[in-house]
Structures are given as C-alpha cells and as structure tokens.
Amino acid sequence: MAIEKAKVLDQNEQFENQALNELTKQLIRIGNDVTKLYESLRRDMRSAFVKRWEAGKLLHDNHAAILEECGTMKEFCEMTGFTEAVLSNNLRGYRAMLSAGATTADQAVKILESKRIEPTSRNFEKIGTLLSTTGDNRNETIPQRKTKAELADKQLENLNQQVEAIRQSHVPDRSPGSGVSVVVHEEAAALSSYIEDLRNHKMKASPVKVPFRSEIYTEFIRNYPRDIVTMLPLDEKADPHHANEFYAKAGEKINDLWQIPVSRQTHQALEEGHETYDEAFLNEALVELMANYIMFIHNKLGIK
C-alpha cells in the first residue's frame, strides 16, 4: 500500500522540493526490486523442494540396487562422494510424502499447502514431523532472535507443564484395585524429573546422568503406528530401537527414552548399517515421540 501511494505521489510530483520527488522515485524502484526478489526467492525455494523430492524418488526407486551393489548407503556415498546425511534426508522426506499420499511433486506441494506448510528445502528435511504435528500453528515462523538452545528449553518447559498437570490431577489411590492410578502418577513424576534433568543439562553432549526406565513408555513405542525412520505405516507392533549412539558414552546403560519405533526390517537394517539417520533427525523424532506420549497419557486419563 505504501508503494502504491508513493507511485501516485511520483506521478503527480507532489513535492515542491525536487529532491523529495527524486527520493520517492528511488524508493519506488527499491520497493519493486525487493518485491521481485521475494517472489524469485519463493519460486527458488519451491524449485529446491521439488528437486529434493525428485532426488528422494530416485533413491527410493533404486534403494534395493544400491544395497545390493554397495551393501550400505554409507558405502554408496563414499564411492560417489555424496554426503550421506543429505541423501538420507532426501530419501526420508520422499517416503514421508509418499506415505501422505503424494506420488508426484505437484501432489506433494498441494498436500503441504493444504496443511499450511511451506514447500521449502528446509521443511523437506522435517516433513515427517511437520505432517504428524496436530493443530493449525504447525508452520508458525519461530522468531530468529531465539537460539536453538532457547527453543529446545521452551519445548521441554511446555512438555514438563503438561506432565505436571497429569501428575497433580491424578493423585494416587493406593486402595485395592487402583494400581493403574498409582502407576500413571509415578510414571508422570518420573518423566517430569527426567525432563527437568534434560533442561539442566541440555547444553552437554551427553545430557542424561540417570537412565530413564519405563515399561509404559516402551509399550507406547511398540504400539506406535509408523516406522519413525522410513515414515511408513506399520501393520504389526514396532521394534523399539535404542538410538542412543549420539548421547550415551561407552559402557553407559541404555536409556529407554532414546527408543524409536521401527519395523523389524528397518531395525535389522540399522543394526547392520544398511540404514542410517543423523543427529538432527533423531532430535526431532525424539521430541515428536515425547509430545505424542504425553498426549497419549492425557487421552488415557481422559483429561480435558
């Protein structure tokens, strides 16, 4: 609107001071250039998304041939000079869109736009998480002034508040036949303590000092509806894969919270090195699982 008004001023040369009239013309040109740059950038980002989708499709269609010839994706990357993390993210993003019903790049773009998710190269790497997140604010832009550490801390704080609400609204009844109430209360207390420990040690490479143990959480992982690595739906119970290689030190006990749900085939591929993922993907997956677990507890208790 300001530019349109400026165009009128420019056409009529409203100012007696010619320097101001010239200033108006320059501002119009700059404003038009900025608009064109934004439009060009948006087109470029969408083009990059489509290219990554195409790369993911190629990898998906030829995945069996790659494993047959090279044994692992890592070996394929070493032989070709590609970055393993980039190829893995391309493959994972394509499979997530395929699982969402997109068989063409245009369909993928339409699905994302219908969910108010921008089809950008950056979002391509976390499509699985974005598609599985509920609510209308899944693609809100995070203010750049916040650091990743601050955002992570805020996420953990919000999660802890939900857990505390569960714990305080479900006072344990230790009378006969009320075992579930006691167990849920204790699980919520344990998870709350664990989240607080994460907040206190989030800046360390190995943030957890005391391993988290929970049969209820493990059973939640077994019943997760999809393979968190391939993004494909599961027809049977998931295998809990302990993805603690980025956090646990040698000799440390396995932490239940590092479990991710995968198919039996994916589990075997991970153990043998045929399938891989990077730390950034794992961090997003763990946050998604924790959030869904808390919602699972909410629904189980009928909390509104």
Give residue limits of the domains in the chain: 2-132, 148-301
In the prediction, which pLDDT does 19 show?
80
In the prediction, which pLDDT does 303 show?
56
CA distance 231 to 108: 15
Q: Which two tokens stand for residue 222?
A: 């077994």
In the prediction, which pLDDT does 246 show?
59
In the prediction, which pLDDT does 200 show?
67
The secondary element (H helix, E strand) that includes residue 259 is strand 259-262
Across the strands, what pairs with 226? 233
Going from the C-alpha of 68 to that of each of 57, 63, 78, 109, 232, the distances in angstroms are 18, 9, 15, 32, 22
Rounded to 5 degrees, what angle do the CA atoms 211, 216, 220 make?
105
pLDDT, tens digit only, all 304 positions of the chain = 344 444 444 455 666 778 877 877 877 777 777 777 767 766 777 888 888 888 889 888 988 888 888 888 888 888 888 788 888 888 888 888 888 888 998 998 888 888 888 888 777 877 877 777 644 444 444 344 556 666 777 777 778 788 777 777 666 665 665 555 666 777 777 777 777 777 666 544 444 445 677 888 899 999 999 898 888 888 899 999 887 665 555 555 567 888 899 999 989 888 887 787 777 788 888 888 888 888 888 777 765 5
CA distance 298 to 300: 5
Cut 0.75: pTM above it = no
Using a 10 angstrom Cβ sphere, with 0-12 exposed, 13-18 middle and 19 or more buried, the burial of residue 25 is middle
In the prediction, which pLDDT does 239 show?
93
